[in-house]
Amino acid sequence: MRYKTNRCSIRVLACAALAGLVLVAGCSKPPTRVSVGNQEQILHKGNGSDPQELDPHIVQGVTEHNILQALFENLVTEDPTDLRPVPGQAERWDISPDGTVYTFYLREGIRWSNGDPVTAHDFVHSYRRALTPSLGSEYAYMYFVMQGAEDYFKGKTQDFSSVGAKALDDRTLRITLNGPVPYFLSLLNHYSWWPVHLPTLARHGDPYRRNNRWTRPGNFVGNGPFVLARWEVGHVIVAKKNPHYWNAANVKLSEIHFHPIESADTEERSFRSGQLHVTAAVPLSKIPAYRRDNPQLLHIDPYLGAYFYRINTTRAQFRDKRVRQALAMAIDRKTIVENVTRGGQLPAYFFTPPDTAGYTSRAAIRYDPGGARKLFAQAGYPGGKGFAPFEILYNTSEGHKSIAEAIQQMWKKELGIDVKMLNQEWKVYLDTEKSKDYDVSRAGWIGDYADPSTFLETFLAESGNNRTGWANAEYDRLLKEAARLGDRQARYELFQKAEAIFLDEMPVIPIYHYTRVYLLDPSVRGWRPTILDHHPYQHVWLESPAASLARASAAAQRP
Amino acid sequence: MLRLIARRILGTIPVLFVVATITFFMMKAVPGGPLDTEKNIPQEIKVQIEAFYGLDQPLWKQYASYMGNLLRGDLGPSFKHANRSVNELIAAALPVSLELGGLALCVALLVGIPLGVVAAIRQNTWIDYLASSSAMVGICMPTFVMGPLLVLVFALQFELFNASGWDFARDRVLPALTLGLVYAGYIARLTRGGMLEVLNQDFILTARAKGASEARVVFRHALQGGLLPVVSFLGPAIAGILTGSFVIETIFNIPGLGRHFVTSVFNRDATLTIGTALFYAALIVVLNLAADIAQVMLNPKQRVE
């Protein structure tokens, strides 16, 4: 009796388990998001974390840029291959002979996504908003090249007509700069300069304050090739094709879905299961496997960024530049990029990435352990004797840790010094670095636009991003002089001199120049490597390899 | 009974007050703030943003105004999600967490209880060993191993599910299994223990002597008492399932509350941290209360007291 019922209950359990399996098996292979996307021209992009906002005058980050680029268009836009400024909302422009006055002529019939015409006045109103102090636009200083912008922002005048932005009529906009800014058109491709639709902002709150609800789906109005349709925090942001966009006929994608996936491992698995066309990153540990088995999916593009170590020059032991030079010369960068980072990064022997808008530093540091030892001895520390142990500060990350360990070993081996590692959580690390409570600290710098100034000006004495305590009057003078020059060659010569001083003084140790490492499905077309990782979406489309093969063979059969 | 419940609910108010206060001052004390970014924000701009969020006020004023808003049910604006309020963020994420938690709980109960019952009635046989050891594996296997493993097998190998996301009904299966199986392990062990204790008691012997069927003995007489340890475990367990889903939410990229709870601290998004901490504190108090009530209803001994 007892055994019988027990068997019964076990049978029930077994049946339940079987039913479960059948259910699972019943859900046979569903079509993947990528294959559906290819048919309907819906691009699925992994996009790191959630954007802070979708208001171009408030945000600060790459994540945000990736989305904003779909939703807005400035006077100029970017060429999909080399990011050179090409006509956007403006069909053409004139530049005065002295390079200080830009006159933009808007296209006829351009519209916001709600159907309102885009006028030159919209641009002026937008600039005024971005420069209004109460908004606290984090990139307001990007406008300081424009006449009167800094004074207006700092409250020295309340009169916006003193600022060099004038709408001459509905379709003509004149911008007057403080001096010639040869990279001004590239600067316009930074989102801080993009226009917003003021009447929409006014409808959903105070246009000149934060926490305006205009960027919510339904409220949103933009002028880009796509318009915001859905925004669910932590889930997805959907941009749909904007029928009012001037070049809508040539926009092939119907939707872009931005998926905020913070974990690179999760993102990689999603890519493998056919849920993403393109990822934001690739886990370090997976790079070798992709190189070996699926090199066609792995993309490594040069990226406008430098990975480096800051040296706290206010600390007694780092005051002597020979010490700083020796530390830099003892690092074998080739070993680091080949064995530690493994993402095709370039060993950095100068700070500004090579070929930044045609500029490559002539001055360079060498990998020279013998020379490093000599310098170290000259500074009073033969064989590292007497040099107090110090710490490398880095924020939590497997990659930063591995690099720090490699450098720790190199310094120990070549210079005989003891280095400890100090790992801090991101915000603590930022706080430590800003209050100069560190010895040596890992850092990264990504250019805002393609010009050497975005790198070199970081280390001006008054720059909030300097954080090394290093200041050099001649360096500052050269850069400030370069800012006043219109001639590219003359500017670059000044940058060469400045960078030579910088590398001789060595307040930071360049380690490598970044690459963008990501996975890309072969069905994505028109996605070209660019130095800022910008991919103007109006030039992107989807075509499965099978479909493109069929198209090619049909074309071949045609007489 | 009602008095007891009322007293317990009133008792939560000081608890929540203390949680809010401690979290508030802890978030102020940690180094780094929401406006610390790699690219420095110029001082004159920082001042404007701080003024907007009231961060330029003395600490006691910030605290007073936060508490004042809290009394009105306003948890304040989030820093990281710049145009959303903490109330909105919680309201949007809560249903997701509840759904995930509910499904995981079903998994935990549907797997755990039968496993425990079978192990108990077949004590010291291979069935018991198999059930007990699989429960142990469930407990010991961390979710960050179990999750990717399930994905590897069912999503990448057999392609039955998506590797991540929260869009379709099928997207619920793997996360619910991952989260549920851990708790199923605990529940199986607790059920087995509880059942064994009850099965050895005199009234079970009496029931058997009176000729009750084995099914009746197990399901009608023994199970009610045998599940008591499970019931008291469920209060904190449900809270754990709802709060402890950070890892699962990250592995499967689910827009739930657990992620806000953790990432808001990294972002120094103080209002969101306090908001989620308060919410979870309230949840734990309420669920513990519910577990106590269920205990009383199931256990005649306590009912008398």
The three-state secondary structure class of B114 is helix
Query: Taking CB atoms and an 8 Å cutoff, what residues of chain B touch A428?
Result: 30-32
Residue B180 has pLDDT above 60, yes or no: yes
The separation between CA A77 and the C-alpha centre of its own chain, rounded to angstroms, equals: 17
Backbone angles phi, psi at A444, to 5 degrees: -140, 150
**Among A29, A133, A430, whose Cβ lies nearest the Cβ of B36?**
A430
- B83 with A53: Cβ contact below 8 A: yes
**Among A50, A138, A463, whose Cβ lies nearest the Cβ of B81?**
A50
Show the tokens assigned to A124.
């002026």
- In this prediction, residue A558 carries a pLDDT of 66
Q: State the Cα–Cα distance between residues A405 and A391, nearest whole angstrom.
A: 11
Write out the E strands in A34-96. 42-46, 76-78, 85-87, 90-95
Scanning A439-468 for CB atoms below 8 A from B yields 443-444, 463-465
Instruction: Answer yes or no: are the C-beta atoms of A404 and A411 closer than 8 Å.
Output: no
A50 contact partners, CB below 8 Å, separation of at least 6: A63, A233, A234, A260, B80, B81
Residue B185 has pLDDT above 90, yes or no: yes
The three-state secondary structure class of B161 is coil
Q: State the Cα–Cα distance between residues B121 and B132, nearest whole angstrom.
A: 12
CB atoms within 10 A of CB B58: 8
- B163 with A135: Cβ contact below 8 A: no
Residue A445 distance to chain B (closest CA, Å): 8
Question: Contacts from A4-10 at CB under 8 Å and sequence distance 24+?
Answer: A4/B214, A5/B213, A5/B214, A5/B215, A6/B121, A6/B122, A6/B214, A8/B215, A9/B117, A9/B118, A9/B215, A9/B218, A10/B118, A10/B127
Q: State the Cα–Cα distance between residues A146 and A165, nearest whole angstrom.
A: 8
**Among B41, B173, B214, whose Cβ lies nearest the Cβ of A138?**
B41
Q: How many CA atoms lie within 13 A of A127 on its CB side?
A: 29
Instruction: Answer yes or no: are the C-beta atoms of A322 and A504 closer than 8 Å.
Output: no
**Among B127, B154, B163, whose Cβ lies nearest the Cβ of A275?**
B163
Dump pLDDT digits (tens) for B105-142.
Answer: 999 999 999 999 999 999 999 999 999 999 999 999 99
- In this prediction, residue A406 carries a pLDDT of 97
Q: Which residues, in sequence order, are bridge partners of residue A419? A: A390
| DSSP character string of A85-145 | EEESSEEEEEE-TTS-EEEEEEPTT-B-TTSPBP-HHHHHHHHHHHH-GGG--TTGGGGGG
**Among A13, A28, A444, whose Cβ lies nearest the Cβ of B114?**
A13
Helix B173-199 to helix B86-121 angle (10° resolution) is 40
Backbone angles phi, psi at B41, to 5 degrees: -90, 125
Distances (CA, A) of B59 to A228, B55, B266: 39, 8, 21
Residue B286 has pLDDT above 90, yes or no: no
The per-residue pLDDT of chain B, averaged, comes to 90
Query: Taking CB atoms and an 8 Å cutoff, what residues of chain A touch B168?
Result: 30
Residue A463 distance to chain B (closest CA, Å): 9
Region of A115 please: left (phi>0), alpha (psi -120 to 50) or beta. left
Whether A269 has its CB under 8 Å from any CB of chain B: the answer is yes
Show the tokens assigned to A71.
């939703």
- B82 with A234: Cβ contact below 8 A: no
Helix B86-121 to helix B228-243 angle (10° resolution) is 150
Per-residue pLDDT of chain A (559 residues; tens, 9 = 90+): 333 444 445 555 555 555 555 555 555 667 899 999 999 999 999 999 899 999 999 998 899 999 999 999 999 999 999 999 999 999 999 999 999 999 999 999 999 999 999 999 999 999 999 999 999 998 999 999 999 999 999 999 999 999 999 999 999 999 999 999 999 999 999 999 999 999 999 999 999 998 899 999 999 999 999 999 999 999 999 999 999 999 999 999 999 999 999 999 999 999 999 999 999 999 988 999 999 999 999 999 999 999 999 999 999 999 999 999 999 999 999 999 999 999 999 999 999 999 999 999 999 999 999 999 999 999 999 999 999 999 999 999 989 999 999 999 999 999 999 999 999 999 999 999 999 999 999 999 999 988 999 999 999 998 989 999 999 999 999 999 998 888 889 999 999 999 999 999 999 999 999 999 999 999 999 999 999 999 999 999 999 878 878 877 887 776 5
Q: State the Cα–Cα distance between residues A351 and A61, nearest whole angstrom.
A: 21
Scanning A303-362 for CB atoms below 8 A from B yields none
- In this prediction, residue B9 carries a pLDDT of 83
- In this prediction, residue A50 carries a pLDDT of 92
Residue B218 distance to chain A (closest CA, Å): 10
Query: Taking CB atoms and an 8 Å cutoff, what residues of chain B touch A6?
Result: 121-122, 214
Q: State the Cα–Cα distance between residues A555 and B16, nearest whole angstrom.
A: 71
Q: State the Cα–Cα distance between residues B119 and B136, nearest whole angstrom.
A: 13
Dump pLDDT digits (tens) for B228-285.
Answer: 889 888 888 888 887 767 899 999 999 999 889 889 999 999 999 999 999 988 888 8
**Among A232, A273, A444, whose Cβ lies nearest the Cβ of B255?**
A232
- B255 with A235: Cβ contact below 8 A: yes
- A13 with B43: Cβ contact below 8 A: no
Instruction: Answer yes or no: are the C-beta atoms of B237 and B74 closer than 8 Å.
Output: no
Query: Taking CB atoms and an 8 Å cutoff, what residues of chain B touch A25?
Result: 160
Q: State the Cα–Cα distance between residues B168 and A183, nearest whole angstrom.
A: 47
Size of interface A-B (CB pairs under 8 A): 176
What is the value of pTM for the model shown? 0.91
- A273 with B162: Cβ contact below 8 A: yes
Residue A158 distance to chain B (closest CA, Å): 16
Residue B155 distance to chain A (closest CA, Å): 7
Instruction: Answer yes or no: are the C-beta atoms of A140 and A146 closer than 8 Å.
Output: no
- In this prediction, residue A26 carries a pLDDT of 52
- B166 with A13: Cβ contact below 8 A: no
Look at strands A419-424 and A390-395 and give their pairing: parallel
- In this prediction, residue A106 carries a pLDDT of 98
Dihedral sign of CA atoms A277, A279, A283, A289 in order: positive
Whether A153 has its CB under 8 Å from any CB of chain B: the answer is yes
Residue B128 distance to chain A (closest CA, Å): 12
SS (H, E, C) A153-181: HCCCCCCHHHCCEEEEECCEEEEEECCCC
- In this prediction, residue A6 carries a pLDDT of 46
Q: State the Cα–Cα distance between residues A137 and A56, nearest whole angstrom.
A: 9
